[in-house]
A and B are shown apart, each in its own frame.
Chain A
Amino acid sequence: MLKKVFTRPRYLKDRVFHYCPGCGHSIIHRLIAEVLEELEIGDRTICVPPAGCAVLAYDYIDVDMGESPHGRGTALATGIKRVLPDRIVFSYQGDGDIAAIGTAETIHAANRGENISVIFVNNGCYGMTGGQMAPTTLPGQNSTTTPGGRDVSRDAAPIDLSEMLAIAKGSTYIERTAVNSPKNIRRTKKAITKAFKIQMAEKGFSLIEILSPCPVNWKLSPVEAAKRIEEEITNYFPIKVIKDNIGKIA
């Protein structure tokens, strides 16, 4: 008899992802679905997907989904969570969504210590609109709006949103991870698990920043894109626990 050892998580729909080859969203979706199943919270979770490539997350993650206007994910999540405090509420946002147009909402939700979780997918560009400069685009990095590379004196330096949020009094747990290697993927899953556990324990605001490849807009192969995260991006955005007011959580 063959034993099934790997299967689709309960909270991932049986659909083909529309994401580009080598994109990190599908990995992150799967990790979230696995965590929801393992923590047995999938039937009391509400996700707030963003504007951006992951706007269609409701086609894949099988929980209640409430679409947010661009950048307002944490404001919507605040509204949902305050009405239903015993549910698990998380927003799923890209770097343009959370660190440019939605900066104010994000900082204030963190500072209020809203008991929500945020999945912040950082791919260093506006993917869905075709690869424009994001607040997280690295110095020198080419984008359609920084032809010749991001010039810090002209286009500003990348914004360290997670570090900024760590300063906020209300934030509880902030970690930066990546999905470019099996090791980092495992680390990301652990971080997501911890974020949800913190919310289940009503311990406040947590955010996981996930460095994620965008091979198409970076004009690299999926393998090269994964390598770029390891060799280039993590130098600027180091993988680390940025803030942890909780420590170990059961």
Chain B
Amino acid sequence: MSRLRCTVSKKFLLRGSQVIGEAAVRAGCRFYAGYPITPQNELTEYMADAMNAFDNRTFVQAESEIAAINMVIGASMAGARAMTSSSSPGISLKQEGISFLASQELPAVIINTMRGGPGMGNIAPSQGDYYQATRGGGHGDYRTIVLAPASGQELADLTRTAFDYADTYRSPVLILGDGMMGQMMEPVTFPDPIRLEDLPQKSYILDGAKNRPSRAIFSLLLDPSIEEERNWKLGRKYEIIKREIPRAESHLTEDANLVIIAYGTAARIAKGAVKRVREMGLKVGLLRPITLWPFPSKMLCEMTRHVRNFLVFEMNTGQMVDDVKLAVEGRAHVQFYGRPGGVISTPDEIAKIINSLYHRQQLEEV
């Protein structure tokens, strides 16, 4: 796959994990550290091959998930675009480091290829880590930006976006995929590679205090009033992020009586289901959040003007449904359907659920 590096953009057929790797290299990722865990090893392997082909980029197979995220902290302090990746249990191990990144306001990109859980779970696609991803995940009062791609092309585009957001907002950015996204092969067009020297200079990095005062990056704030100010500073930044980046795809929602809300792999399945029920004449649409944090609440709230019924479909026992309920503020009915543990629903299964719900809803309205 290394032959792809820095070639002129055109279509490639790659696995999702490899798409992320190639997109990261093209985004100017200069440091990657990872640890083996299924179902995302193709990404680590891709990075080993791709990064080692450059003189000035680094791949480290770390001794642990914890070491990997801490190496990323160091690389980010030194000014590099840095990334690590893992799957659910490994992401749990990285949470302390992600909390430090948030507090120290350091950019980093973290890929979570979710698998079934809790505990060891399995290696099948799941969406069990929504809460962990969107509520911060580690200790303390913070958030991470969370992007949820649903296609090979979006994996490429959102990986670039993730590095840009990380730098713009000086924040860790999480890409929340799953085993299905990671393994799926789709044709992808990559954005042109960024040359490292073309990346914007950063004013806060640690590169030796030559001809300037020394700097310190730290999160220990013993005085509660200073810690409070750090928290408010982060809070103000999160408000800006909430205004600037919420994103969702709206599919056949204009005339819909019922809108399905799903992200990532679940949204792909839901899209197939919407197609089937549309063929039966049901007015059903799909809203697919692309940013999970910030959640596209405003978009959803506005949709309640003409949609009164929502069905949230997730590959878990119900997590994003909480954000949907918060967003609609009681102005619409919110139902939930989910399959946890790595079970993959079929579009037919979801179509049946939609069908039954749709008609039950009509009965209730009569």
Contacts and interface: CB of A to CB of B under 8 A. Distances in A.
Interface of A: 42-46, 48-49, 51, 55-56, 58, 62-69, 72, 75-84, 87-88, 104-105, 107-108, 112
Contacts of A82: 31, 58, 60, 71, 75
A62 B31 contact: no
Contacts of A87: 78, 207-208
A64 B213 CA distance: 9
B76 A79 contact: yes
Nearest 3 interchain pairs by C-beta: A79-B74, A75-B70, A44-B208
Given A45-B208, A58-B218, A83 B70 contact: no
B212 to A, nearest CB: 9
Nearest to A107: B63
A69 B70 contact: yes
Contacts of A107: 63
**What is the size category of the interface that chain B forms with chain A?**
35 or more
Contacts of B64: 104-105
Contacts of B104: 67
Contacts of B74: 48, 66, 75-81, 83
B170 to A, nearest CB: 14
23 contacts: A43-B209, A44-B210, A46-B78, A51-B220, A62-B209, A62-B214, A63-B214, A64-B209, A65-B206, A65-B214, A66-B73, A66-B217, A67-B100, A68-B73, A69-B73, A72-B97, A76-B70, A76-B73, A79-B78, A80-B77, A80-B78, A104-B67, A107-B63
A79 B73 contact: yes
A130 to B, nearest CB: 16
A83 B58 contact: yes
Interface of B: 30-31, 33, 58, 60, 62-64, 66-68, 70-80, 82, 96-97, 100, 104, 206-211, 214-220
Contacts of B208: 43-46, 63-64, 84, 87-88
A81 to B, nearest CB: 8
Contacts of A75: 62, 66-68, 70-71, 73-74
Nearest to A42: B209
Nearest to A59: B216
Contacts of A45: 208
B209 A76 contact: no
B216 A64 contact: yes
A51 B100 CA distance: 12
A129 B2 CA distance: 50
Contacts of A108: 62-63, 67
Nearest to A11: B214
Contacts of A46: 77-78, 206-208
Contacts of A56: 220
A134 B211 CA distance: 41
A83 B54 CA distance: 13
Nearest to B82: A79
A79 B214 CA distance: 19
A64 B204 CA distance: 10
Contacts of A77: 74
Contacts of B79: 83-84
A105 B67 CA distance: 6
A68 B103 CA distance: 12
B221 to A, nearest CB: 11
Contact of A55 (B30, B33, B67, B220): B220
Contacts of A51: 220
B71 A79 contact: yes
A51 B60 CA distance: 24
B56 to A, nearest CB: 9
Contact of B71 (A44, A64, A76): A76
Contact of A80 (B67, B100, B206): B206
Contacts of A48: 74
A79 B75 contact: yes
A43 B82 CA distance: 24
Given A83-B79, A84-B78, A64 B207 contact: yes
Contacts of A58: 216, 218
B192 to A, nearest CB: 23
Contacts of B67: 72, 75, 104-105, 108
B97 A83 contact: no
Given A43-B208, A64-B206, A78-B60, A83 B75 contact: yes
A36 to B, nearest CB: 11
A72 B96 CA distance: 11
B104 to A, nearest CB: 7
Contact of B218 (A67, A80, A81, A84): A67
Contacts of B210: 43-44
Contacts of A112: 60
Contact of B216 (A42, A65, A88): A65
A83 B31 contact: yes
A79 B58 CA distance: 9
A79 to B, nearest CB: 2
